[in-house]
Amino acid sequence: MNKVILKKHFRDRLEERFGYSVSDVMSVDRESVFVWTKKNLNKCSNMMIKKKLVNRCENTFMVENTKLNVIICGNKSNGYTFINTIIPRFNLPKF
């Protein structure tokens, strides 16, 4: 199992912009949390996620939490999982 590293930018944004604690965001509800990578991107209906992930490397992922309306961005590298930042969830119209 990978070791998870929460970047400072993630912690700062989580508290400042959303008022959530780490445990609030890291709890997984299978019905409201989706993990998106380049491999399953064709099933994603959120155009913002598609646009951001399409040009990223294979190690990058986004976790969409529809219950909290946030998206967590991260990547995997050398046995570690880095949680980099958190952004608001918007579902942009399809083109």
CA angle 65, 51, 79 (to 5 degrees): 65
- Report phi then psi at 35, rounded to 5: -105, 125
Place of tokens 């969409």: 64
Would you say how long the chain is, in residues? 95
**pLDDT tens digits, one per residue of 22-62:** 888 887 788 889 999 999 999 998 888 999 999 898 999 99
Q: Which helix (H) or strand (E) holds 13?
A: helix 8-13
Q: Which of 6-10, 61-65, 88-92 has the highest mean pLDDT?
A: 61-65
The one-letter code for the residue type at 76 is K
**70-77: strand order across its sheet:** 3-6, 80-88, 70-77, 60-65, 33-36
User: For 55-89, how does the pLDDT look when each residue is reduced to its tens digit (9 = 90+)?
Assistant: 898 999 999 998 899 999 999 998 899 999 999 98
pLDDT for the residue numbered 27: 79
Could you tell me the pTM of the whole model?
0.84
